[in-house]
Amino acid sequence: MKTALVTGSSGFIGYFTATALLRAGWRVIGVDSLSDYYDVDLKKRRQEMLTRHENFSVVNEGIEAPGLLLDLFARHEPEIVVHLAAQAGVRYSIDNPRSYVEANLIGTFELLEAARAHPPTHMLLASTSSAYGANTEMPYRETDKADAQMSFYAATKKATENMAHSYAHLYGLPVTMFRFFTVYGPWGRPDMAHFKFTRAILNGDPIEIYNHGQMRRDFTYIDDLVEAILALIPAVPDPDHPLENDSVSPVAPFRVVNIGNGTPVALMDFIAAIEAACGAEAIKTYHDMQPGDVPATWADATLLRALTGTRPVTPIAEGLQRFVDWYRSYYDK
């Protein structure tokens, strides 16, 4: 039985990724600190569901702990690694930047060092669409220059891309970085917009709309995202055999891949879809743009389709209805 190591396994994306790997016949070693950045009970519920699988085991500790990952790699020798553990959130990075250094930079360093000692077949590491930063030409392509990040969160994620490239070059570690575009769905993070809007609408509270609603986002439904991650496992980067318009490095087995719908949605349309799913109209308050945020994101998913034959397709109304149905059930609304 093949072994996968999934960091951040009790997180939103980590839970669904680990579940999909288990269903596909993998043995999964999870690592998660169960940090209190958001509701720990939600993380524990996800983890409890994973532990029902006999081929899942988990270590509840931060990946930045010295030697933790090195020990796990030595004991389990994972064929693949899906690195999802990170301190997330654009706005929180303004208030608590040190947590991003520890989880994102030091944690990823520990992962790379462990992989150097015990090389897996393929490492798949999460980045973010926020890495494109101040870029205004859209859709975002993986080959675009991305050197002007707008938040410390985005800066740390772009730094992990650079760190991983150096290890790919120096030690021949095959690495795929995926840049996620606003992932949403059931069991999602409470700090995400779809979660906050749904909670407020069902409670009769006002919602906060930034940049006076003049924002667009490329939303990605969780099932589509996980399907793409698993489809990328066999797509090991090869600098000697690049595809057309490939982002593969000329000097390392390293590639960046967007995972997004390729169809940006206006914020007010997004809110209207949540209102329809909730069966109630939101009380709206309008505000200026928040520091570190960007007005729009839009993924070019051409490379993902070329590598996997698939791309995210779930319509926003359908995905949001599934989320609201889950929310009502989970919170007894």
pLDDT tens-place string over residues 275-309: 999 999 999 999 998 887 888 899 999 999 999 99
pLDDT at residue 256 in the model: 98
Contact by Cβ (8 Å): 204, 89:
no
pLDDT at residue 95 in the model: 87
The CATH H-level superfamily of 193-216+263-298+314-330 is UDP-galactose 4-epimerase, domain 1 (3.90.25.10)
User: Alpha carbon of 225 to those of 14, 140, 162, 241, 246: distances in Å?
Assistant: 11, 17, 23, 25, 20
pLDDT at residue 190 in the model: 96
CATH number of 3-183+220-259: 3.40.50.720
Domain with CATH 3.40.50.720 in the chain: 3-183+220-259
Mean pLDDT by 10 residues, the chain (333 residues): 97 98 98 96 98 98 98 98 94 90 97 98 97 94 95 96 98 98 97 96 96 94 98 97 95 98 94 98 93 87 96 95 98 87
Q: What is the CA radius of gyration of the chain?
A: 19
Burial 186-212 (b: 16+ CB within 10 A, else e): bbbbeebbbbebbebbbeeeebebbbe
pLDDT at residue 294 in the model: 83
The DSSP letter of residue 150 is: S
Counting beta carbons within 10 angstroms of the beta carbon of residue 220, is it exposed (0 to 12), middle (13 to 18) or buried (19 or more)? buried
Instruction: Give the integer Cα–Cα distance in Å for 10 and 331.
Output: 19
| Closest alpha carbon to 278 in 190, 202, 196 | 202
Instruction: Give the integer Cα–Cα distance in Å for 198 and 278.
Output: 7
Instruction: Give the integer Cα–Cα distance in Å for 106 and 127.
Output: 15
- Is 153 in the active site? yes
Instruction: Give the integer Cα–Cα distance in Å for 108 and 230.
Output: 21
Q: Which of 153, 167, 184, 327 is catalytic?
A: 153
pLDDT at residue 92 in the model: 86
Domain with CATH 3.90.25.10 in the chain: 193-216+263-298+314-330
- Cite the DSSP H helix spans in 186-315: 193-203, 222-232, 267-278, 302-308
Helix (H) or strand (E) holding 283: strand 283-287
